[in-house]
Chain A
């Protein structure tokens, strides 16, 4: 018997593929969001609200990840935004090779912004680099302010937290200060945007922050501003 040193990260293939996807996006100056949240937290409504606020300024594409069905994709297309479906067939998360294939199916040659809606899950998607610029996690008010204590990984891996359904604050015992306290201990740099996709509250603040990120990224891209 002999011992062979391997010394390889288990997810290295995903990470290598993610770097290729990142390069592909960088070449055309596309800003990419990996959007993660639990089922029912309002991911698709949030995408529609974001696209509604920014579609006059930017070309937007959506990659929809679901275990099955294309209801979200149909919904997004019905609102006039390009969307392509990935069905994971039971897999709990997207990986970077799926993103590469999905990009080939989006109709336009280039996008300013691509939003990837990950599979509804607060655990697994946090671990997989998709070649995104930022990971965004949505926490909706009815889920409770203790989620960072139960799922710390996703709150440390994401750079933006969307507090969705703030129109429901009065109907729950959700304490926003307590939530912010939990987040500050794990990820003090996290940007937090409280919004409601029903009333539209907070959507403008999020959209203008995102526009700043898209513009900065396009300015930094090799062919940007040309």
Chain B
């Protein structure tokens, strides 16, 4: 159950990114998740719902982009999708292979409403708002 700690990190990173871009509301967060990253989707979604009320990302949609695992064999040059319990090269049986993708767990992007609410800040960044006023309930 390290999903609680992972969610805490997601909240911090999203808040930092939101602060850098003066957004008022985060609507969608896209995660890239390697198939061997050992992140339990259900558990992470549960933690996210529990931890985000009152934050800028309350109610945001979590988009889960799976990344297939891929390994490389330096002996024969094969590229293959590793068996989760056997990383041996299927072509030449070399056991020392390198996993290239499949363990990542990252925030790819966020979609957010720009600052267009009641003017509570006095800086000028508010003119950047109102590019896309698309308001979909998702």
Give chain A's interface residues, CB within 8 Å of chain B: 1-14, 91-93, 95, 123-124, 126-128, 148-149, 152-153, 156, 182, 184-189
- Tell me the bound Cα distance from A14 to B27 in angstroms: 26
Residue of A nearest to B129 (CB): A2
How many angstroms between the C-alpha atoms of A8 and B104 in the bound complex? 10
Do A6 and B110 have beta carbons less than 8 Å apart?
yes
In the assembled complex, the Cα of A126 lies from the Cα of B106 at a distance in Å of: 17
* Interface presence of B6 (CB below 8 A): yes
CA distance A135 to B71 in the complex (A): 22
A3 CA to B21 CA in the complex, in Å? 10
Nearest opposing residue in chain A for B6, CB measure? A10
- Shortest A97–chain B CB gap in Å is 11
Give the shortest distance, in Å, between A91 (CB) and chain B (any CB). Answer: 7
Do A2 and B131 contact each other (CB < 8 Å), given the known contacts A93-B5, A188-B96? Answer: yes
Extra contacts besides A2-B111, A3-B109, A185-B87 (19): CB < 8 Å: A1-B132, A2-B114, A4-B23, A4-B110, A6-B107, A7-B109, A8-B107, A9-B106, A10-B106, A10-B107, A13-B9, A13-B12, A92-B2, A95-B5, A123-B2, A152-B84, A185-B95, A186-B87, A187-B87
| Residue in A closest to B95 when the chains form the complex, CB atoms | A188
Taking a contact as CB atoms under 8 Å apart, the answer to whether A1 and B109 are in contact is: no
Interface status of B55 (Cβ within 8 A of chain A): no
- Please report whether the interface of chain B is mostly helix, strand, loop or mixed according to DSSP: mixed
**Minimum CB distance partner of B135 in chain A:** A1
- Residues of chain B with a CB closer than 8 A to A14's CB: 9
CA distance A11 to B105 in the complex (A): 8
Chain B, 81-125, contact with A by CB distance < 8 Å: what is the 0/1 string?
Answer: 000111110000001100000001111111111100000000000
- Which chain B residues border A127 with CB–CB below 8 Å? 2, 38
Q: How far is the CA of A152 from the CA of B131 in the complex (A)?
A: 47
Q: How large is the interface on B (under 10, 10 to 19, 20 to 34, 35 or more residues)?
A: 35 or more
What residues make up the interface of B, taking CB atoms closer than 8 Å to A?
1-2, 4-6, 9-10, 12-14, 17-18, 21, 23, 27, 31, 36, 38, 84-88, 95-96, 104-114, 131-135
Between A and B, 19 residue pairs with Cβ closer than 8 Å are: A1-B135, A2-B21, A2-B112, A4-B17, A4-B110, A4-B111, A6-B109, A9-B106, A10-B10, A11-B6, A14-B9, A91-B4, A124-B5, A152-B85, A153-B36, A156-B87, A182-B85, A186-B86, A188-B96
Q: In the complex, which residues of chain B have a beta carbon less than 8 angstroms from the beta carbon of A123? A: 2, 38
Question: Known: A92-B2, A93-B5. Contact between A7 and B108, CB under 8 A?
Answer: yes
Partner of A6, one of B13, B38, B96, B135: B13
A5 touches B13 (CB 8 A): no
B133 to chain A, nearest CB (A): 8
Complexed CA–CA distance, A127 and B36 (Å)? 11
In angstroms, Cα B32 to Cα A7, docked, is 9
